A and B are shown apart, each in its own frame.
Chain A
Amino acid sequence: MDYFRAVYLADERSPRALKLTTEAIHLNAGNYTVWQFRRLILETLHVDLHDELDFVGELARDNTKNYQIWHHRRWVAEKLGTNATSKELEFTQEIFSEDAKNYHAWSHRQWVLQTLGGWEDELEYCDKLLRDDIFNNSAWNQRYFVVTRSPVLGGLEAMRDSEVAYAIKAILAKPENESPWRYLRGLYKDDMQSLVKDPRVASVCLDVLMNKRDCVHALNMVLDLLCHGYEPSKTLENAIDALCLDSGVSDSGLTERVCSVLQVVDRMRTNYWKWRKSVVPV
């Protein structure tokens, strides 16, 4: 490290200085001063950055959560531009094959898509990851990212219909999975009235409650609908009433009854549901 400090202070940007940074990085890949100096050397020497990508790739595989390595990879990829697109998408896929939720890799992948492109197969890739693990919230988030930002799809409004169907299928497969419920709600983020008017939303809640009566996510969605003016069907009211009987709940309004049921079936958050009952719109 003394040798490193010497070349750093002398601002020597030579091949031997570059080798020194390699050694220093292997001693401590978190030393951002070394990485910064390495970038200066790489620029000065006009090094082939494809080799640099290989170097940082090897390091990243052994240190998948190191901020400095991912930052350096981004710097290299930005310099290479669209020549690096497919390699970066492949690299992040490789990381996801070991850890499908690596936050650094997802940030990097989103940056690649927005800066270098490559959106064409991204929705299909999200689908593949969700087929591997329907509980992968990172993949659900990426799906939302693609649906809302991809320049090759039509935007959220154009995609909403098919994405609602996608979310509902996932919900029915595993109703206890929080991710598709949040995704479904997110598809209507700035348009609650459309959420209320989409019959499929209330319908999936009812379908789930008929089979899994204490599903918190379904009950929470019903509460959301009711708070935004949804007029419940008789079937839904009956389903809630059956739950009330099970739980010993006897409030007068339907919204209050849903809150009270939630107090019982979601005991961890019982105080929250009690507060929700106190503030529901009349």
Chain B
Amino acid sequence: MGSGCEREKMDVENVEEPGCSCSWTVFGLGASAICSMLKNWSGMDRGKAKDYIISCQSYDGGFGLIPGSESHGGATYCAVASLRLMGFIDEDILSENASSCTIIMPSLLYWSLQRQAQFGGFQGRSNKPADTCYAFWVGGVLRILGADKFIDEGGLRGFLLTCQSEYGGFSKFPDLLPDLYHSYNGFCAFSLLKEPDINALCVELGITAIAAIGL
């Protein structure tokens, strides 16, 4: 595990050249999650990681996978969850006194809320169709920011149920066959919606709160 963190540290130093082919916001979340679970950040330079993530914030407030790339729900989740795990996002980020490590918070908040699209589902990018999984990726961002109270819960619930298969599980879009990935994200989204009989989440790790306590 320790040597894994060392490799991640080397990767952080190496990805500062433009156009690195690795999607650092994704790998950054992996590294942050490992260090967080081990409660050992010695393998990772959090300051450099934070600076890189911030450079991935786009002109419209969302985050892309690398600097300059289009804002994307999945990339935004990885960015925000990493920053939360690293300790750079306060619990009460919406209040005026909370620190935000120079993310442009108002535009991130607005971008995230604007992803809730026409039929109540969340889209991953502007002007793209709503897709089940972004209910977790973007819903998760809003939960971390303490802004999930601004989601139209009835609308989201309605959309997700149109993606639920009669065989169980969830699909990407309504009336398709389900798959594991969208089922996982669909159930996580229902957890964020506080659906009865579904466990609470540790959003930034993507596991149940109970499991997170045990780490």
What residues make up the interface of A, taking CB atoms closer than 8 Å to B? 70-71, 74-75, 101, 103, 106-107, 110-111, 114-115, 135-138, 141, 144-145, 149, 177-179, 182-183, 185-187, 189, 220, 267-272, 275, 279
Contact = CB atoms under 8 A, between A and B. Distances in A.
Contacts, number: 85
Contact of A107 (B59, B60, B65, B127): B65
A166 B126 CA distance: 19
A138 to B, nearest CB: 5
A141 B155 contact: no
B164 to A, nearest CB: 21
A220 B96 CA distance: 21
B32 interface: no
23 contacts: A70-B21, A101-B128, A103-B70, A106-B69, A107-B65, A107-B66, A110-B66, A110-B69, A136-B127, A137-B70, A137-B125, A137-B126, A137-B127, A141-B58, A182-B61, A183-B59, A186-B59, A268-B120, A269-B116, A269-B150, A272-B113, A272-B150, A279-B96
A144 B66 contact: no
A268 B152 contact: yes
A178 B113 CA distance: 13
A107 B126 contact: no
A138 B70 contact: yes
Nearest to B110: A220
A189 B59 contact: yes
Given A115-B18, A269-B113, A101 B69 contact: no
B127 A178 contact: yes
A271 B149 contact: yes
B68 A149 contact: yes
Interface in B165-185: none
A275 to B, nearest CB: 7
A6 B117 CA distance: 51
Given A115-B18, A269-B152, A271-B150, A145 B60 contact: no
Interface SS of chain A: helix, strand, loop or mixed?
helix
Contacts of B116: 268-269
Nearest to B22: A71
A107 B69 contact: yes
Nearest to B154: A268
B114 interface: yes
Given A111-B19, A137-B128, A272-B150, A182 B60 contact: yes
Interface residues of B, number: 33
B45 to A, nearest CB: 24
Contact of B125 (A70, A101, A111): A101
B72 interface: yes
A155 B115 CA distance: 30
B131 to A, nearest CB: 13
B82 interface: no
Contact of B127 (A115, A177, A269): A177
A271 B19 CA distance: 39
B71 interface: yes
B117 to A, nearest CB: 9
Which of A110, A115, A267 has the most C-beta atoms of chain B within 10 angstroms of its own C-beta? A110
A185 B18 CA distance: 25
A275 B96 CA distance: 13
Contacts of B64: 141
Interface in B33-65: 58-61, 64-65
Given A106-B69, A141-B71, A114 B18 contact: yes
Contact of B69 (A71, A103, A269, A271): A103
A110 B19 contact: yes
Contacts of A144: 58-59
Contacts of A267: 152
A144 B58 CA distance: 10
